[in-house]
Structure 1
């Protein structure tokens, strides 16, 4: 008999996980985002501005890692969709990935000394592929599990909020750990702090991921496990992927996400370069920009459920992306035109305000996108007769990673095109030529905003409204009997 511990409703009612289950589940966001993304965000700066690897090679290595990872997502998604075990469909993957994520992340921050340009490129490429791949083995089932834990649209939004808050908290911890402990006093440009930081975050992630699995295993084991599809994984996967792309709602969300994440990847990759070499901030003050972003992110995530009651999820994403684009256009545009060029401590408050607005916008979008993807997965069951949560969230993950890889690669190529110097390691306070600074700001802000407008245009075609999802839910209930 299935174990129903953690359920607040009978098995025949709408599934609603308890508060404790939600809290433990949310801890997995450290691997899906939060701590993981915060840590990996230092890698581009570390290898290019500290270790002196060509920007194009850094971008190519990280893009290869993201692209390879994106290809793994549908494999893991389909495999977990069709697994049956006493722990449910998702937990075996999540548990097995934990030591692999921690080991590969620590090694990513610990390249051997004395490597040549190509040796360093090879190390970065191999570890970027490994880290991202092992993280996906956790992330794809983790996200798909949320769509299974409840069929109620509001509860799904609640789960996204729980894990988003956990991710923001993890990002705050990992940001402070870096700037306060390992990168203080100009330490961003010194190589000795990075290995200790990487291994510290790896341990933190392993603990959080383990607690997530321990806290949800009874609930996950009690969830329905549909009969697996016939045929081997490799032979059936192409047909399954083709099937999800037959759903117009999935296509719209996928394409919109690819373009939005490309813009975000381009911008985020160059954050440290802009703060250090354009706005000339001290390492110990850059952390406050990160805190402002996380505060805005928390506000956006917290208000998203309330706003969702007043507007459609699609409208919520439009609002979020618009705020994000404002962060990329206003102050950067003034800097490019020569109308506003504060440096050092004078730039802190304006950049904190800018980052706070970006955080709000990102928070709104990060709640709405997964909730919309879960709704599209319900529509898929109605249209095609099978649940494909794993593949749907693998698609969202693929969009994120492939697009981020494009953004990272473009950022690396851009650094070489603007003739960013490779010999700035440990040269705290170095001032770049004005034309290099202007071109760097153009790529960092306005260029990313232009790309993001395409995402908004595509998103307008998404058609699952609140009323339409209610119709889908009723129809599914009739089909399931």
Structure 2
């Protein structure tokens, strides 16, 4: 048609493959640290009575140490969460020769990695309330610099990847690299705990995360510096417009509930080994004496399930859209998580085999939660820019992180409450009910996402056909 703009003028150029890979490579760092945190922190400070690890915090006023620590970590997480939108607003409004985001990532990443190591270096031997106070302060320090280092990096995604195929490509590589981080944070950390102890594990995970984050910054430096135009609105208007976006309000509860259920399921695995697989023998080792080894086996199985499922989710996103694939992940997870309660009940099938099959299925189901949230948020950012005329990437990611932290802060508390129903081989009730509780949270996530309607990649495809 005469006068029509060529398609190349309407479609942004593709981001170079090495930059897409470099940006996605950073997923190793965040996943390694967050998975090791979720797996080991509660167990390290308040292990079961028959564990080989000594506790660091006593029961307080008759309250079980795990419940007390769960409440403590919840309070720290909720208090720190309020700085997420403020950091987002700050980075959105920053102007420098390094762009809006890079100064924060470069300055905060070393302190974030150091903060993770400090979590596993309590100052007092044995059980002590001083260790509880130390953990509260160390957790606040870690949370703050995790936000300052991670949120600006997340906010670069809509700017770096303007095309939907680039976003899906990055999401796919983030999943694969995220699995690598999960191997480090879940499986390798378990072996390091058995071989060298918790401080060595924290140093291994934190040091690797620091190196990976540095490599990511180097890979994206050229393009990230171009993100230099500060956002115009004031803080009150930015918050109001962010939380009035209907698509964001439809998406946010699903993400928060999914993450909460997933963290509960991750955190219960060492307790599951002690309570359900305590007398299982494998290569001369028992679950009771080698919690780290058996936890490694379960977490490696979860990761194998994630790897097996990611091509299915990618194909589903290409054919039916990202939102449809994300819904499928929530539906599958809501069905898979409760099955962990029944491992060991089938006759003639070893308990370990049953557990492995169930956690493999749970891993396949959860692949979508690692793959789609960031690119769904990027679509919401684009949609909001069309509505308001202003791009506030970090405000959206920061607000998302704030509510995620406030909700997932309750995951260790909910887990501790569940475990109070029984976490021993004689009474594993609390361990077994954690799977169904996590599944119920994910089912609520599925219901909350029904109002989400963005599908820009499908709209572009229909427009191209017409």
- TM-score normalised by length of structure 2: 0.86
Question: Are 2:329 and 2:368, in contact at CA under 8 Å, matched by a contact in 1?
Answer: yes
Question: Are 1:379 and 1:472, in contact at CA under 8 Å, matched by a contact in 2?
Answer: no
Q: What are the equivalent positions in structure 2 for 1:337-416 lying under 5 Å apart?
A: 339-340=345-346, 346-415=350-419
Question: Structure 2 CA distance, aligned partners of 1:327 and 1:289?
Answer: 15
Call closer, same or farther: CA 1:439–1:196 in 2, change over 3 Å.
closer
Call closer, same or farther: CA 1:11–1:468 in 2, change over 3 Å.
closer
Give the match for residue 432 of structure 1: 425
- Structure 1 window deviating more from structure 2 (461-470 vs 382-391): it is 461-470
Call closer, same or farther: CA 1:371–1:341 in 2, change over 3 Å.
farther
Verify: 1:303 aligned to 2:312, yes or no: yes
Q: Secondary structure at 2:86's aligned position in 1?
A: helix
Question: Structure 1 CA distance, aligned partners of 2:422 and 2:351?
Answer: 24
Question: Are 1:68 and 1:133, in contact at CA under 8 Å, matched by a contact in 2?
Answer: no
**Residue deviations 1:41-73, cap 9 Å, x none?**
211111110425301122122223332342222
Question: Structure 2 CA distance, aligned partners of 1:473 and 1:73?
Answer: 37
- Structure 1 window deviating more from structure 2 (398-407 vs 11-20): it is 11-20
Q: How many correspondences in the alignment?
A: 434
Deviation at 1:176, TM superposition (A): 4.1
Pick the aligned partner of 2:236 from 216, 235, 238. 238
Verify: 1:325 aligned to 2:334, yes or no: yes
Question: Structure 1 CA distance, aligned partners of 2:259 and 2:189?
Answer: 25
Deviation at 1:151, TM superposition (A): 1.4
Q: What are the equivalent positions in structure 2 for 1:151-300 lying under 5 Å apart?
A: 151-184=162-195, 193-223=197-227, 225-229=228-232, 236-280=234-278, 281=287, 282-283=290-291, 284-300=293-309
Question: Structure 1 CA distance, aligned partners of 2:165 and 2:83?
Answer: 30
Question: Structure 1 CA distance, aligned partners of 2:422 and 2:299?
Answer: 27
- Structure 1 window deviating more from structure 2 (140-149 vs 395-404): it is 395-404
Question: Are 2:39 and 2:268, in contact at CA under 8 Å, matched by a contact in 1?
Answer: no
Deviation at 1:37, TM superposition (A): 2.5
Question: Structure 2 CA distance, aligned partners of 1:323 and 1:365?
Answer: 11
Give the match for residue 449 of structure 2: 459
Question: Structure 2 CA distance, aligned partners of 1:371 and 1:473?
Answer: 21
Question: Are 2:73 and 2:412, in contact at CA under 8 Å, matched by a contact in 1?
Answer: yes
Call closer, same or farther: CA 1:275–1:15 in 2, change over 3 Å.
farther
Call closer, same or farther: CA 1:181–1:457 in 2, change over 3 Å.
closer
Give the match for residue 479 of structure 1: none
Call closer, same or farther: CA 1:342–1:118 in 2, change over 3 Å.
farther
- Structure 1 window deviating more from structure 2 (257-266 vs 193-202): it is 257-266
Deviation at 1:155, TM superposition (A): 1.0
Question: Structure 2 CA distance, aligned partners of 1:473 and 1:270?
Answer: 47
Pick the aligned partner of 2:104 from 78, 93, 96. 93
- Structure 1 window deviating more from structure 2 (149-158 vs 365-374): it is 365-374
Unaligned runs of 5+ in 2: 1-7, 48-52, 58-64, 279-286
Question: Structure 2 CA distance, aligned partners of 1:243 and 1:472?
Answer: 29
Call closer, same or farther: CA 1:411–1:418 in 2, change over 3 Å.
same
Question: Are 1:289 and 1:348, in contact at CA under 8 Å, matched by a contact in 2?
Answer: no
Question: Are 1:297 and 1:362, in contact at CA under 8 Å, matched by a contact in 2?
Answer: yes
Give the match for residue 233 of structure 1: none
Q: Secondary structure at 2:82's aligned position in 1?
A: helix
Deviation at 1:116, TM superposition (A): 5.0
**Residue deviations 1:121-175, cap 9 Å, x none?**
1111111111122111121111111111021112112112222211211221343
- TM-score normalised by length of structure 1: 0.83
Give the match for residue 157 of structure 2: 146
RMSD, aligned CA: 2.7
Give the match for residue 62 of structure 2: none
Deviation at 1:14, TM superposition (A): 0.8
Question: Structure 2 CA distance, aligned partners of 1:171 and 1:29?
Answer: 9
Question: Are 2:174 and 2:371, in contact at CA under 8 Å, matched by a contact in 1?
Answer: no
